[in-house]
Amino acid sequence: MSEPVIEKSVTVNPGARPRGETSEAAAAENVRDLFDSIAPRYDLLNHLLSMGLDRRWWRRTARSFRTVLARPETRVLDLCCGTGDLTAALLRLRPRGAEPITGLDFSTAMLDRARSKFRGANVIWVQGDAMRLPYADGSFDLLTSAFGFRNLTNYADGLAEIHRVLAPGGQIGILEANQPDGLRGWGYGIYFHHLLPMLGGMISGRRAAYRYLPDSVMRFPRPPQMLGMMRDAGFEQCAWDGYLLQAAGLYRGVKQ
């Protein structure tokens, strides 16, 4: 069941800005460089810093779309697929002989990790820009993304591009981090904004990357604003299902 969301006055930033860039092109380049740099330790750090919850969240997201995934003709795009963990969770729910899943990411290094981890899987791995997808209108029936959408340099334009490549009746599922409110938000904030950057920086050797990650969550729209942006992009039946004290959650919508 979707979590209730409370309308609040929160400024919605246009998109990711790793180093405070003023142009989307510069921000996109820095996002790609950042993820290329942390790719070798990305999986280890994800599992460690989420205390293993990331695997549960990927499986839960995939199960949310089990009905559409069960149809062999369903065309699936996993956007900002990173090293392919959500892609693999989706693939487990596909029938034998189904259309392959497409996993697309901006980072060459992240895709290289995905290809290595899931060699021989029924997946087409594509390097591409989520802001300018190399597909015709109506190419997919399901589009998912796990912890990658907030790295887009323009959220509204990204949603519009997703809407474009979905067929009528197509579904969107964006699993994304969130900043909880109240006391739980205070405790989460201590970990996420202080301990996580320190630990991530020490293990990866890329302190700037693990300072950017919590900053990117702070910049990202809260559920009421994100749901409003999805509706503005043309999606209907928009909902948010909060996971683990609302520290993350799944945004869903349908293109009519």
In sequence order, what DSSP letters do the residues of 160-207 get, joined into one string? Answer: HHHHHHEEEEEEEEEEEE----HHHHHHHHHIIIIIHHHHHHHHHS-H
The pLDDT value recorded for residue 12 is: 64
The pLDDT tens digits of the residues spanning 128-155 come to 999 999 999 999 999 999 999 999 999 9
The pLDDT value recorded for residue 6 is: 40
Higher-confidence position of 31 and 3: 31
- 141's tokens: 């029936």
Query: In this model, does residue 122 exceed pLDDT 50?
Result: yes
Class of domain 24-255: alpha beta
Give the residue-averaged pLDDT of 165-193.
84
User: Would you mind telling me the total number of residues written for the chain in this entry?
Assistant: 256
202/200 Cα distance (integer angstroms):
6
The pLDDT tens digits of the residues spanning 232-249 come to 999 999 999 999 888 899
Q: What strands, in cross-sheet order, belong to the sheet with 235-243?
A: 123-127, 101-105, 76-79, 140-146, 166-177, 248-255, 235-243
The pLDDT value recorded for residue 218 is: 85
The pLDDT value recorded for residue 25 is: 94
Q: Lowest mean pLDDT: which of 21-25, 91-95, 178-182?
A: 178-182
Query: In this model, does residue 2 exceed pLDDT 60?
Result: no
24-49 and 53-63 helices cross at what angle (nearest 10)?
110
Which DSSP helix (H) or strand (E) runs through 124? strand 123-127
The pLDDT tens digits of the residues spanning 70-116 come to 999 999 999 999 999 999 999 999 999 999 999 999 999 999 999 99
Does residue 112 sit in helix, strand or coil? helix
Which own/partner contact pairs does 134-137 have at CB distance under 8 Å and 24+ positions apart?
135/77, 135/165, 136/165, 137/164, 137/165
Q: Are 123 and 100 in contact (CB under 8 A)?
A: yes
Share of the chain above pLDDT 70, in %: 89
The pLDDT value recorded for residue 229 is: 97
Query: In this model, does residue 185 exceed pLDDT 70?
Result: no
The pLDDT value recorded for residue 105 is: 98
Q: What single-letter amino acid sits at 214?
A: P
Query: In this model, does residue 5 exceed pLDDT 60?
Result: no
Residue with tokens 């609302």: 246
Q: What single-letter amino acid sits at 81?
A: C
The pLDDT value recorded for residue 4 is: 43
Does residue 243 sit in helix, strand or coil? strand
Higher-confidence position of 235 and 209: 235
Domains in the chain: boundaries: 24-255
Q: Are 77 and 165 in contact (CB under 8 A)?
A: yes
Say which residues have a Cβ less than 8 Å from residue 36's Cβ, sequence separation at least 6.
107, 108, 109, 110
Query: In this model, does residue 177 exceed pLDDT 80?
Result: yes
Mean pLDDT for the chain?
89
Query: In this model, does residue 8 exceed pLDDT 60?
Result: no
The pLDDT value recorded for residue 49 is: 66
Does residue 4 sit in helix, strand or coil? coil
- 36's tokens: 């290329």
Higher-confidence position of 204 and 132: 132
Q: What single-letter amino acid sits at 174?
A: I
